Structure 1
Amino acid sequence: MKFPQYNPELDNPDLNEAELDQLENLLNAVPSDSAMDVEGLDGYLTALLLAPELPSADDWVPRIWGGQAGEDPPFSSGKQAKRVAQLALRHLASIDRRLRADVETLEPFFGIAERDDADGTEGLDPDDPFWIDAGQWSAGFLVATELLPQYWEPLFDAPEWAELLAPLIQLGGEEVPEDLAQLDALSRQVPDLITALWEHRATVGTQQTEG
């Protein structure tokens, strides 16, 4: 199945709540542990935009549901697969607009929960009623880095990036911290990484699309 390529010149309005719910439901119905949820998708799309070139949609879209280019989508109809691709493209455009306008205003789709004393609050900010979990977001981000190893591997290997990338790697890995204070602290460092990566991207070229 061929998927439409991203074109930033097209009118791609932000997804509304109903469309986000539809996207979440479509992804939740995929019979694969590798399928992303909306938080993971947000991280995945953000990482795609933080690299200097965008892979073909035929390569990056199937990863959303845990597939590979050329494989049949795991949906009951081609219409559902195309709908997921359409919604993902619009969300990609939304993230792109925010990055280009002001990266500091980007609001990543992190998990946010109201603190419950039963969960334990030691180490958390007593003045903040919420704790943040960027685990799924980070896992989705790391999937995107596999599509452009020639760009990402040097960054992951560079000593000067080690401290900034460490929270992302830990959150997106197989051993996500169980301690809420540690999870919250690591998650709150990710926005600074996004800003740094966006600024770095500007030094290596402008986003290119492939069609």
Structure 2
Amino acid sequence: MHSQPLNAADFDDLEDTLLKYGDDHSILNTCELDGFFTALVSSPTQVDIADWFPTIWAGQNPNWEDPEEAKHFIELSVRHFNTLARQLAEDSKTFAPRFEESEHQGQTLTLAEEWCFGYIRGVTLAQWPDMPDIQTGLLKTIVDLAEQDNFELPEDFDVPAYQQQVALVAPAARALHDYWLSQR
């Protein structure tokens, strides 16, 4: 299995598979998958693929049409998982969450909700223990954005304030990774 970071076509393949086999309770896009994997590689304990793979599908493994399709999805997932682990451990400044973008009143808006939701899903699966107040506050930064519903933004949506919140997510994720790395 090669260890190169995923390219745009690889992410498209992942996204297509998530949409094809997913449902309302599973991970449905690569932004959420990226957040999920980021939490898992940041976790205080290692989470095995046998545990995280079924979680992608809300506990119900897909009825794959073709075994090669399943193999390809797993290979891409593991490559991305390993890329995130390397980035966060070796040069966390290269780490950037995979956020969605949308348009709101003529402005491009970076949306973090799906990524943050995936991150919380990973924290839950890994059963993170209680943390000191500083780290709990960092996690709250992510949790708060996961709880926002940005599907239909109101006319008076405060874009600058929201973008300031989004800008805090990557540093929070890096700091949480570093904290748990120091505890292992």
List alignment gaps of at least 5 residues for structure 1.
1-9, 120-128, 206-211
- Calculate the TM-score normalised by the size of structure 1: 0.74
Deviation at 1:74, TM superposition (A): 4.0
Once residues 158 and 101 of structure 2 are traced to their aligned partners in structure 1, the CA distance between those partners, rounded to angstroms, is 12
Deviation at 1:78, TM superposition (A): 3.5
2:167 equivalent in structure 1 = 188
Q: How many residues align?
A: 177
Letter aligned with residue 146 of structure 2: G
Check if 1:104 corresponds to 2:93: yes
2:130 equivalent in structure 1 = 154
Letter aligned with residue 101 of structure 1: E
Dislocated runs of 4+, deviation >6 Å? none
Once residues 130 and 145 of structure 2 are traced to their aligned partners in structure 1, the CA distance between those partners, rounded to angstroms, is 20
Once residues 43 and 33 of structure 1 are traced to their aligned partners in structure 2, the CA distance between those partners, rounded to angstroms, is 17
List alignment gaps of at least 5 residues for structure 2.
none
- Calculate the TM-score normalised by the size of structure 2: 0.84
Letter aligned with residue 56 of structure 1: D
- State the structure with more CA Rg: 1
1:208 equivalent in structure 2 = none
Which of 135, 140, 143 is residue 121 of structure 2 equivalent to?
A: 143
Deviation at 1:91, TM superposition (A): 0.5
1:168 equivalent in structure 2 = 142
Cα-Cα RMSD: 2.2
2:26 equivalent in structure 1 = 35
User: 3-state DSSP class of the match of 1:29?
Assistant: helix
Letter aligned with residue 19 of structure 2: N
Q: Sort the Cα spacing of 1:202 and 1:162 in 2 relative to 1 into closer, same or farther, 3 A.
A: closer
Summarize the alignment of residues 1-211 of structure 1 with structure 2, pairs less than 5 Å apart: 11-36=2-27, 37-67=29-59, 71-113=60-102, 116=104, 118=105, 130-149=108-127, 152-155=128-131, 158-173=132-147, 175-176=148-149, 178=153, 179-181=157-159, 182-205=161-184
